Amino acid sequence: MQSAIRITTKVLPGDKIEVQLPPGSAGEEVEVFVILPEKKPLKQRSVLEILEEVHKHGPFRTVEEIDRDLQFERDSWDN
């Protein structure tokens, strides 16, 4: 009769796994099945949805602040 062992382990750095079998298995040939967990697909958002979300938070700077910063930068080019 063919026996099976179910082992759950974590993926180690370098995308490696380590499996420890019961004593007496040394030298025997075994088959290993790796079942990866299903990943939920990322919701694809349109550019318009992203912009709408950004605008919900309000402007980070006023138009006047942006104009002042741009003018300051332009003035620095002359020096």
Q: How far apart are CA 69 and CA 71, in angstroms?
A: 5
Q: What confidence tens digit (pLDDT) does each residue in 19-36 have?
A: 888 888 888 888 888 888
Burial readout 19-55 (b: 16 or more C-beta within 10 A, e: otherwise)? eeeeeeeeeeeeeeeeeeeeeeeeeeeeeeeeeeeee
pTM of the model: 0.39
Residue 71: pLDDT band by 50, 70, 90 thresholds?
very high
Q: What confidence tens digit (pLDDT) does each residue in 32-49 have?
A: 888 888 888 888 889 999
Q: How far apart are CA 38 and CA 36, in angstroms?
A: 6
- Among candidate residues 13, 7, 12, the one with its CA nearest the CA of residue 35: 7
